[in-house]
């Protein structure tokens, strides 16, 4: 079945769902259906360890009786399963309370033209070819240094997906996507000490994946760099969050400006639209319409047309992230944020990674974070961490078993620089972050 035929099939399923919802008395309904196939091959110590073929379907239906809402999900796309799912959603809706904020998205905001964002690039790779690529990646890591003593393997993953959403406003739209990735994780040993690290790459387009051997070598380099880790005494100092760690700081920002956190008053950024959150040089944008973008989508999970947005401009918060429900609760308009932020980017201050080390002079470079230590109500931040001690602008030695602590509001205000080293495979584009001062907990 071609991808266009698959989309047409899923559109038929959505139309059947909406028709069945009307037949069962619903005033309004919305449905999303997805289908995906994938291949995952893992090679460990030179041998093919697992070959996994996946084929999954998903269906979700939400019905409204006035302002009463009911939802149901299934992985079965047969007609009888569709009828049963709609009936289950209707039963739930009939027994729930009225909610003035419940309902479909504003019809005026729905995507009437669905642009082609060039998201579909299938990879005709079989299990044997995938294993050969993964083996090349792992071999490069294992042979990089005699201290690489073991491996968790290298995995090649390729996936094709199709998604269709429709609602009783007359909207129906869908599009296919692909995603491909290659990753490697190895273990280094020196005496009794063992350390583990990894590297990976991902892309919509298979030819744009990094060279397998380069991914393996980088995994080995990161692992070897962690050997001979030391402890620190507790102190206050500058902290540099490496580029592959820095996206977590933006995710905390996005969590704090989500509409659901705002209307519940469970965020440290309550009532902060128009207020200075970052230094003036900082801008944060999202661009859901980026061709081939890792999180691109022509419409959100409610069919609302997506668009380029400035979330932070001149360091000032410009707006919240709102789906239709949160927008109604706050007396605002949906920002096409059902499903999250898509292709976020933060302004770079222009320094390379080496420049950031030099600018920090003396402090902690964080390369790993552990645990969930962010309090979205107060902004208090405390995470287990590992990384490197920096002196005179140069990395001196690895450090482990530390915590980095502060308050997100202060951390955002004290952002001194964002590097140009933003070539990390992520839907959040950022270089390394240099924070002026944090508490580093050690011995």
The answer to whether residues 297 and 377 belong to one domain is: yes
**pLDDT value, residue 1:** 72
Span 317-375, pLDDT tens digits: 999 999 999 999 999 999 999 999 999 999 999 999 999 999 999 999 999 999 888 89
How many structural domains are present in the chain?
Answer: 2
Ordered per-residue pLDDT tens for the chain, 443 residues: 788 889 999 999 999 999 999 999 999 999 999 999 999 999 999 999 999 999 999 999 999 999 999 999 999 888 999 999 999 999 999 999 999 999 999 999 999 988 999 999 999 999 999 999 999 999 999 999 999 999 999 999 999 999 999 999 999 999 999 999 999 999 999 999 999 999 999 999 999 999 999 999 999 999 999 999 999 999 999 999 999 999 999 999 999 999 999 999 999 999 999 999 999 999 999 999 999 999 999 999 999 999 999 999 999 999 999 999 999 999 999 999 999 999 999 999 999 999 999 999 999 999 999 988 889 999 999 999 999 999 999 999 999 999 999 999 999 999 999 999 998 999 999 999 999 999 999 88
Domain of residue 393, residue span: 229-443
> Which of 189, 206, 224 represents a domain boundary (last residue)?
224
Both tokens of 118, joined, read 């060039």
Considering the domain architecture, whether residues 249 and 370 belong to the same structural domain is answered as: yes
Any idea what DSSP says for residue 326? H
H/E element, 114:
none
Same-domain status, 253 and 389: yes
Residues 426 and 407 in one domain: yes
Residue that has been written with the tokens 């469970």 in this structure:
266
Residues 281 and 382 in one domain: yes
161: three-class secondary structure by DSSP? strand
398 and 418 in a single domain? The answer is: yes
Same domain, 242 and 320: yes
Contacts of 160 (CB under 8 A, 6+ apart): 3, 36, 37, 38, 120, 122, 176, 177, 178
Length of the chain: 443
Is 49 found in the same domain as 169?
yes
Is 151:142 a contact under the CB 8 Å cutoff? Answer: yes
The answer for residues whose C-beta is within 8 angstroms of residue 305's C-beta and 6 or more apart is 109, 110, 111, 112, 298, 299, 336
| Structure-block tokens of residue 9 | 């099939």
The CA distance from 313 to 345, in Å, is: 12
Together in a domain, 284 and 429: yes
Specify whether 213 is located in the same domain as 274. no
Identify the domain boundary among 224, 249, 283: 224
Q: CB–CB of 438/387 below 8 Å? A: no
Domain boundary among 224, 256, 285: 224
Domain co-membership, 198 together with 341 = no
CATH number of the domain that residue 195 is part of: 3.30.2290.10
Query: Which pLDDT does position 421 carry in this prediction?
Result: 96
- Same domain? 175 vs 263: no
């Amino acid at each position: 079945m071609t991808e266009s035929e698959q989309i047409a099939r899923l559109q038929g399923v959505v139309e059947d769902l909406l028709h069945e919802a009307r037949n069962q008395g619903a005033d309004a309904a919305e449905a999303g259906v997805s289908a995906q196939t994938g291949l995952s091959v893992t090679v460990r110590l030179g041998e093919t360890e697992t070959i996994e073929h996946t084929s999954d379907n998903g269906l979700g239906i939400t019905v409204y009786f006035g302002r009463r809402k009911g939802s149901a999900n299934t992985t079965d796309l047969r007609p009888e399963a569709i009828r049963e799912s709609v009936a289950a959603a209707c039963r739930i809706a009939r027994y729930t309370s009225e909610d003035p904020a419940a309902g479909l998205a504003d019809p005026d905001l729905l995507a009437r033209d669905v642009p082609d964002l060039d998201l579909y690039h299938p990879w005709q790779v079989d299990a044997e070819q995938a294993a050969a690529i993964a083996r090349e990646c792992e071999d490069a890591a294992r042979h990089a240094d005699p201290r690489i003593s073991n491996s968790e393997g290298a995995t090649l993953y390729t996936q094709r997906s199709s998604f269709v959403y429709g609602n009783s406003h007359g909207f129906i739209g869908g599009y296919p996507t692909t995603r491909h990735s290659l990753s490697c994780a190895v273990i280094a040993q020196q005496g009794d000490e063992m350390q583990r690290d990894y590297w990976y790459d991902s892309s919509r387009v298979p030819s744009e994946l990094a060279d397998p051997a380069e991914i393996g070598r980088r995994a080995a380099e990161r692992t070897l760099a962690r050997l001979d880790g030391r402890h620190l005494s507790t102190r206050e100092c500058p902290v540099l969050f490496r580029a592959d760690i820095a996206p977590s700081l933006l995710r905390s920002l996005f969590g704090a400006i989500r509409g659901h956190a705002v209307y519940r008053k469970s965020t440290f950024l309550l009532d902060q639209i128009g207020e200075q959150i970052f230094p003036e040089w900082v801008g944060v944008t999202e661009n859901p319409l980026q061709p081939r973008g890792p999180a691109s989508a022509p419409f959100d999970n409610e069919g609302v047309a997506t668009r380029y947005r400035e979330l932070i401009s001149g360091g000032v918060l410009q707006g919240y992230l709102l789906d239709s429900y949160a927008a109604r609760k706050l007396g605002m308009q949906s920002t096409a944020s059902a499903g999250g932020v898509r292709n976020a980017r933060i302004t770079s201050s222009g320094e390379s990674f080496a420049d950031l080390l030099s600018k920090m002079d003396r402090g902690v470079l964080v390369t790993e974070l552990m645990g969930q230590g962010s309090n979205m109500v107060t902004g208090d931040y405390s995470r287990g961490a590992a990384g490197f001690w920096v002196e005179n602008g140069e990395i001196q030695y690895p450090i482990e078993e530390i915590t980095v602590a502060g308050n997100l509001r202060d951390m955002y205000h004290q952002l001194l620089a964002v590097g140009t080293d933003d070539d990390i495979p992520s839907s959040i584009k950022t270089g390394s972050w240099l924070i002026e001062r944090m508490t580093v907990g050690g011995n």
